[in-house]
Amino acid sequence: MTPYIGVDDPSTWPDDIKLAVNTWTAELQARGVPEDELAVKAGEYDGPLEALLNGHLLRAYHCTRLLDHEVEGIRLHGMRILDEQLVTDKLNAALEYGVLTDAQYRELLQGRRLDNPASGMKVESEISFVLSPVELQHNAWGFNPLLTSWGGEAIYWAHEKNPALSETLRSLGRPTIIHVALDPEHLPGALLAPSLAGPFVAVVAALSPEEQGAEVHYRAAIPSEHVLDLWHPGDADYDRFPDLARC
């Protein structure tokens, strides 16, 4: 058994998962499902795949921007789900470490929000990951806002139209990719787009890289032992994604 399963790397898939994914892919293709619908239609196999993943760990990636003490905190204590307390703790620590002024702290604390002001989408009580590094390679435009503004969406969303504060948030911390191992036990309660089985099927069907990704809104904390690494510009693992933010 491989210690971690990478959606993008079939050599890490256990034999029973390889067999199942190949079978599902063949079934979908035999039904005449168009290539651009395979990843979505594959969602009908999410339940069986969750069962096969039981006892394994699934590689995933989270893009953010972190201060040095936050990097150390994640290495030591893992990742917490997003909630009001996490945002408050981030701001309190930034004030304590002297990277925010009192005025900036108060404005950021007052403006924090757990929903997207444009779409109304809630991000509370979850951590967002992508399951394949292929997405980091081909969809950098979607990740660079997360990598270039400190604090995460709950902090920078409310201040994107405030030039002075936005500039401050862009000056703090370093772009960071957090590489983790997800416990499939928590996947049934997660929101997956387009599906869990989708990227597996897309790899077997040799679809375009754009079809091989999946996003998971994971509703559990990540223990420190499941934080595999944190990558920054200058690290070989980060630099293999040349279109991601450098500073």
Question: Which range is least confidently modeled, 15-29, 113-127, 226-240?
Answer: 113-127
Q: Specify the pLDDT at position 121.
A: 58
131-135, 151-155, 228-232: range with highest mean pLDDT:
228-232
- pLDDT band at 46; cut points 50, 70, 90: very high
CA diameter of the chain: 63
Average pLDDT of 103-112? 88
Cα–Cα distance measured from residue 236 to residue 222, given in angstroms and rounded to the nearest whole number: 24
**Statement: residue 117 has pLDDT above 60:** no
Average pLDDT of 166-194? 93
60-64, 108-112, 207-211: range with highest mean pLDDT:
60-64
Average pLDDT of 70-89? 96
Entry pTM: 0.93
- pLDDT band at 2; cut points 50, 70, 90: low
**Statement: residue 205 has pLDDT above 60:** yes
Average pLDDT of 171-198? 93
**Domains in the chain, ordered, with CATH?**
10-80+124-153+169-239 (3.20.170.30)
Cα–Cα distance measured from residue 154 to residue 124, given in angstroms and rounded to the nearest whole number: 9
Report the share of the chain in percent with pLDDT over 70: 93
**Statement: residue 123 has pLDDT above 70:** no
Report the share of the chain in percent with pLDDT over 90: 79
Q: What integer best gives the mean pLDDT of the chain?
A: 92
Q: Specify the pLDDT at position 118.
A: 52
Q: For residue 209, give the amino acid letter.
A: P
Angle subtended at Cα 168 by Cα 165 and Cα 172, rounded to the nearest 5 degrees: 145
Whether the upstream peptide bond of residue 223 has omega within 30° of 0, thus cis, is no
Q: Specify the pLDDT at position 191.
A: 80
Q: Specify the pLDDT at position 73.
A: 98
Decide if 229 contacts 177 (C-beta within 8 A).
no
- pLDDT band at 115; cut points 50, 70, 90: low
Q: Specify the pLDDT at position 114.
A: 66
Question: Which range is least confidently modeled, 61-75, 77-91, 122-136?
Answer: 122-136
Q: At what angle do helices 197-204 and 46-53 cross, to 10 degrees?
A: 90
112-126, 156-170, 195-209: range with highest mean pLDDT:
195-209
Cα–Cα distance measured from residue 231 to residue 71, given in angstroms and rounded to the nearest whole number: 10
Cα–Cα distance measured from residue 173 to residue 66, given in angstroms and rounded to the nearest whole number: 5
What SS3 string covers the chain? CCCCECCCCHHHCCHHHHHHHHHHHHHHHHCCCCHHHHHHHHHHHHHHHHHHHCCCCEEEEEEEEECHHHHHHHHHHCECCCCHHHHHHHHHHHHHCCCCCHHHHHHHHHHCCCECCCCCCECCCCEEEECCHHHHHHCHHHHHHHHHCCCCHHHHHHHCCCHHHHHHHHHCCEEEEEEEEECHHHHHHCEEECCCHHHHHHHHCCCCHHHCCCEEEECCCECHHHEEEEECCCCHHHHCCCCCCCC
